[in-house]
């Protein structure tokens, strides 16, 4: 696909529905400024990579969007309406689902139970609402199939599955609530090469399901491979945004490290 445009605008020609907007979002932890006046827009059908050094504010940004942390100032809008994402549940109701790095899978439970963890389907009220295993298994199969995640048996404990399969099940869990926006925190960390490829394919499938995807990653190669747009954070601020095909690896690294910043006047020894 020829994608290099002459002007360096980060906006592609056609764009899906605007799902989420952050304007001027700041967050302090005591004296630490974790987020400073961050503006961000996330669209349907787009994979956005979120990169930056340790302490740049990536996790805090994801937590603010997923209702785990609350901004001290600024506005969050979902579908154009200002919202307060007080809890992860509130974020989920707003169509936002987050897959954390630790995946929070229960190794002793099978794929079906893990996909439905905390959102189990119950049977008829008259029958005392036992878990509706049949419906859960069918629905779990549907979401895992939609991601092309293959597990040999839906009813063996997930503890023995590969890293890629486990990531698939964690993403499958996210899809049960049919979110419009999926946030992934370091999905390829600690994976081998073939499993990394598997997970990048999962991300592409989320996009082809017309969801918005925000991926945090330390691995710039992964991000460059999968992201339509890359947002760079440094010291709590959003410092750059690059559309696919409109940056070099060097641009990315320079934005992350601040290598191209003008030296401050007080730094006379430069």
Residues 63-122 that bind ligand ADP (CB under 6 A): none
Question: For residues 50 and 144, which CB has a smaller minimum distance to Mg ion in the complex?
Answer: 50
- DSSP state, 40? E
Residues 56-95 that bind Mg ion (CB under 5 A): 59
Residue 153 binds: one of ligand ADP, Mg ion, none (C-beta under 5 to 8 A by kind): none
Contact (CB, 8 A) for 193 and 219: no
Residues 53-72 that bind ligand ADP (CB under 6 A): 54-60
Q: Which of 156, 176, 180, 158 is nearest to 116 (CA)?
A: 176
Question: For residues 59 and 114, which CB has a smaller minimum distance to ligand ADP in the complex?
Answer: 59
Q: Is 29 in the site for ligand ADP (CB under 6 A)?
A: yes
Question: For residues 57 and 95, which CB has a smaller minimum distance to Mg ion in the complex?
Answer: 57
Residue 55 binds: one of Mg ion, ligand ADP, none (C-beta under 5 to 8 A by kind): ligand ADP
* Count of alpha carbons within 13 angstroms of residue 230, beta-carbon side: 26
Q: Which neighbouring-strand residues pair with 73? A: 26
Question: For residues 57 and 164, which CB has a smaller minimum distance to ligand ADP in the complex?
Answer: 57
Choices 2-10, 55-63, 64-72, 249-257 (CB under 5 A): range interacting with Mg ion: 55-63
**CB of residue 52 to ligand ADP, shortest distance in Å:** 5
Q: How far is CA 156 from CA 66, 142, 170, 176, 247, in A?
A: 31, 18, 16, 20, 45
> How many whole angstroms separate alpha carbon 50 and alpha carbon 62?
9
Secondary structure (3-state) at 145? helix
Residue 57 binds: one of Mg ion, ligand ADP, none (C-beta under 5 to 8 A by kind): ligand ADP
Crossing angle of helices 163-175 and 193-208, rounded to 10°: 20
> How many whole angstroms separate alpha carbon 97 and alpha carbon 89?
9
How far is the first Cα of the chain from the last one, in angstroms, to the nearest whole number?
A: 43
Q: How many residues bind ligand ADP (CB under 6 A)?
A: 11
Q: Which residues would be at the binding site for Mg ion (CB under 5 A)?
A: 59
Q: Which residues would be at the binding site for ligand ADP (CB under 6 A)?
A: 29, 32, 34, 52, 54-60
């Amino acid at each position: 696909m020829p994608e290099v445009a002459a002007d360096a605008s980060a906006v592609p020609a056609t764009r899906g529905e605007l799902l989420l907007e952050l304007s001027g979002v700041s967050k302090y932890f005591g004296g630490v400024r974790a987020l400073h006046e961050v503006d961000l827009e996330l669209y349907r059908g787009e994979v956005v990579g979120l990169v930056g050094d340790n302490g740049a504010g990536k996790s805090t940004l994801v937590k603010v969007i997923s209702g785990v942390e609350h901004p001290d100032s600024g506005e969050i809008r979902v579908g154009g309406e200002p919202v307060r994402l007080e809890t992860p549940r509130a974020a989920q109701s707003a169509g936002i689902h987050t897959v954390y790095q630790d995946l929070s899978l229960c190794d002793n439970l099978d794929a079906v139970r893990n996909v439905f963890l905390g959102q189990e389907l119950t049977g008829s009220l008259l029958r005392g609402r036992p878990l509706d295993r049949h419906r859960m298994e069918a629905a779990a199969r549907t979401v895992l199939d939609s991601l092309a995640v293959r597990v040999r048996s839906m009813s063996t404990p997930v503890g023995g599955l590969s890293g890629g399969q486990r990531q698939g099940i964690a993403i499958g869990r996210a899809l049960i609530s049919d979110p419009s926006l999926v946030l992934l925190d370091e999905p390829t960390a600690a994976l081998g090469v073939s499993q990394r490829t598997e997970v990048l394919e999962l991300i592409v499938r989320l996009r082809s399901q017309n969801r918005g995807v925000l991926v945090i990653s330390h691995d710039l190669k992964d991000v460059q491979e999968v992201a339509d747009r890359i947002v760079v954070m440094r010291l709590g601020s959003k410092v750059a945004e690059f559309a696919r095909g409109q940056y070099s690896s060097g641009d990315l690294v320079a934005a992350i490290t601040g290598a191209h910043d003008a030296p401050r006047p007080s730094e006379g020894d430069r």
